[in-house]
Structure 1
Amino acid sequence: MRAYHVAAPGAPAALTELSRPAPQAGEILVRIAACGLNFADLLILDGTYQETPEPPFTAGMEVAGTVEALGPGVEGPAPGTRVAVFGGQGGLAEYGCFPAARAVPLPDSMDEVTGAAFQIAYGTSHVALAHRARLSPGERLLVLGAAGGVGLTAVEIGKVMGAEVVACARGAEKLGVARQAGADHLVPADPEELRTRLKALGGADVVYDPVGGALFDAAFRACRPEARLLVIGFASGEVPRIKANHLLVKNLTVTGFYWGGYMAFRPDVIRDSLSQLMRWFEEGRLKPHVSEVLPLDRVEEGLDLLRTRRSTGKVVIRMA
């Protein structure tokens, strides 16, 4: 099989021919149809992610495909079942072995490209907004990076949850994508303009930030009392520094959030969230946006779209 593989420490990832794996205890073998790309894939390949595997490994965090075989002691999902799986690695390949407990059957109405784009982006936004920030109907939600992989889902989910959504993104095209996802207000990704426009609206109750840097600082300054700020990531490359005395003055809460961490200590949160998200999808309330679908031999082009922030929504690699 072909795989986008890191063979040794310090070696660059490359398309490689590998033997097809066999599922071990607790695992399923999946014939992979599609793999969703995430900003975290770039960090893993650079060796800077909090859960970077030791080489050798195959990149790719989330997949959709068809169960081919079950490992010892595994009762399901049965071979032939279409599933989505968050494996953390192993997705950019034609076959992969993943924990059976992480496999989510795809609804009939969801194709594999959509399934591969769904779990991390929608799961991150839903657990962050519903479980961590306790977003309530009528509150004002600011989404930074609002046309990106996770940001766009935060816009959608915020609207489903009844929030007034302010979308901040770079350029008219990206702001237009956020508008189509339901944003009520559009703000260019300029720190001074963001601060001014957000204050004119009356401030934010919840800030969803996968960007960091100067935009976080501007949003922080325009928060309402008792606002909650969700730290999702640092696509800008700059980790903000927070002055604790400013938290005190407005009674603000800054909350770190890492979706994958819940797999280890609260898998029930992930399970319940994905069940809700699948229901919303089947009801037509969520419409995943995939801007690029590329074959496996163009995976580096797909990663570069994320690196240069030229994509909107998700980039997906299709295996065949």
Structure 2
Amino acid sequence: MRAVVVPSHGDSSAMEVTEVPDPVPGPGEVLVEVAASGVNFIDVYHREGRYPLPPPRVVGSEGAGTVSAVGDGVTDIVVGDRVGWVNILGSYAEKAVIPAARAIVLPDGVSPDVAAAVLLQGLTTHYLTHSTHEIQRGDDVLVHAAAGGMGLLLTQVAKLRGARVLGTVSTAEKEKLARAAGADEVFGYDGFAERVKDLTGSGVHVVYDGVGAATFEGSLASLRPRGLLALYGAASGPVPPFDLQRLNQAGGLFVTRPSLGWYTSTREELLARADELFGWVASGALKVHVSERYPLEDVCRAHDDLEARRTTGKVLLIP
């Protein structure tokens, strides 16, 4: 089968599309014919070695497709089931082996394309808005990169929960997308903390920040006393160490660095979040925006476009 392999860490040119042996499901695993793979910043981190993984590796950690074989001991998933998954390496390929305990059976009305586009970012959105900070009606929320895949989902779900959403974007085109998703106020990154304070008076209840180093200081300055900064990613680079006493001086602030694994640590929690997520999608309450679909051979261009922020919404690889 064809797969995207990283022989050694580096920039996008480190990835190679090559023939590798077909994977075989072991006990408790299923083999999936991959219909679509999600392209995410965590894939970039794996490729670069920021999240170290010993090369060579087949990269990609999100996808969806149809089960073609099951290993010993698998009873609740059968051949022909359509499933999706997140945080399982090896998804940039024509076939993937997935632990049955982490496979999510897709409901009718949710296609593999949509599942691959929404699972990682949708489940992340769910825990950020329901657990990391349980948004209450009337909360003020700041969403960075509001026209990106995460930003569009965060904006929609925050609005479903009754928040006022402020969003940052980098272009006029992205501003239109963020407003179409429901953002109440949208502005650029220059001086965004001052703009937030002008609009809210005391600052926002929570900042959802996947940008990292470039926005961290402004994100802290955007919070009201006892506000929370949820730093769920670092697209612009990691945040350098800082003195925790600053949180006290700025109003008893909270900072957390969550990740999806800690919020889907059991199958029951994974499926509960997925059920609500797919319910929003099926009802039309949550719109999934796929900006680009790239063939597997164009994986380098897909990463380059993602890193250069030339994309809006979700990017998919189609094997």
Q: Which amino acid aligns with 1:224?
A: R
Q: Give the Cα separation in 2 of the matches to 1:6 and 1:244.
A: 38
Structure-to-structure mapping, 1:68-147, within 5 angstroms? 68-147=68-147
Q: Specify the alignment match of 1:260 in structure 2.
A: 261
* Gapped regions of structure 2 (runs ≥ 5): none
SS in 2 for 1:118: helix
In structure 2, distance between residues paired with 1:272 and 1:189: 35
Q: Distance in 2 between matches of 1:88 and 1:78?
A: 19
Distance apart, 1:299 and its partner CA: 1.2
Asked whether the 8 Å contact 1:217–1:240 carries over to 2, the reply is no
Q: Is the 8 A contact 2:30 2:99 kept in 1?
A: yes
Q: Verify the 8 A CA contact 2:36 2:65 in the aligned structure 1.
A: yes
- Supply the distance in 1 between the matched residues of 2:25 and 2:213 (Cα, whole angstroms): 43
- The code of the aligned residue for 2:286 comes to L
Residue by residue, what CA displacement relative to the aligned partner does 1:73-94 show, whole Å, maximum 9, x if unpaired? 1113111111111243111111
CA distance 1:94–1:204, shift in 2 (3 Å): same
Q: 1:198 to 1:153 in 2, by over 3 A?
A: same
What residue number does 1:201 align with? Answer: 199
Counting only pairs closer than 5 Å after superposition, residues 1-320 of structure 1 correspond to structure 2 as: 1-7=1-7, 12-49=14-51, 52-190=52-190, 192=191, 194-202=192-200, 203-249=203-249, 250-263=251-264, 265-319=265-319
- Kept in 2, the 8 Å contact 1:87–1:98? The answer is no
Deviation at 1:198, TM superposition (A): 0.5
CA distance in 2 between partners of 1:199 and 1:291 (Å): 32
**Contact in 1 for aligned 2:9/2:49 (Cα 8 Å):** no
1:109-148 Cα offsets, whole Å, 9 max, x none, are: 1222111111111111210121111211110010011122
Deviates more, 1:32-41 or 1:248-257: 248-257
CA distance in 1 between counterparts of 2:183 and 2:241 reads 28
CA distance in 2, matches of 1:223, 1:87: 31
Q: Select between 74-83 and 212-221 the one with higher mean Cα deviation.
A: 212-221
Give 1:60 deviation, angstroms. 0.9
Larger mean Cα displacement after TM superposition, 144-153 or 176-185: 144-153
Shift in Å, 1:8: 6.0
Instruction: Tell me the TM-score normalized by structure 2.
Output: 0.93
In the alignment, residue 172 of structure 2 is paired with which amino acid? A
Q: What is the total number of aligned residue pairs between the two structures?
A: 314
| Per-residue deviation, 1:104 | 1.1
In 1, distance between residues paired with 2:8 and 2:78?
Answer: 34
Give, in angstroms, the shift of residue 246 of structure 1. 3.2
Distance (whole Å) between structure 1 residues aligned to residue 231 and residue 318 of structure 2: 31
Q: 2: CA distance between counterparts of 1:44 and 1:60?
A: 9
Whole-Å separation in 2 of the counterparts to 1:289 and 1:48: 28
How much is the aligned-residue C-alpha RMSD, in angstroms? 1.8
TM-score, length-normalised on structure 1?
0.93
Please give the alpha-carbon distance, in whole angstroms, between the structure 1 residues aligned to 2:276 and 2:292. 26
- CA-to-partner distance for each residue in 1:271-305, whole Å, 9 max, x for gaps? 32111111111111111111001111111111111
CA distance in 2, matches of 1:229, 1:9: 31
CA shift for structure 1 position 14: 0.5
Residue 177 of structure 1: SS of its match in structure 2? helix
Q: What residue ranges of structure 1 are gaps of 5+ in the alignment?
A: none
Is the 8 Å Cα contact of residues 70 and 76 (structure 1) preserved in structure 2? no
Is this contact kept in 2: 1:87–1:99, CA < 8 A?
no
AA partner of residue 253 (structure 2): L
Q: Tell me if structure 1 keeps the 8 A contact 2:9–2:47.
A: no
State the alpha-carbon separation in 2 of the partners of residues 262 and 165 from structure 1: 24
1:20 Cα deviation after fit: 1.2
**What code does the residue aligned with 2:256 have?**
T
The answer to whether the 8 Å contact 2:15/2:300 transfers is no
CA distance in 1, matches of 2:288, 2:281: 9
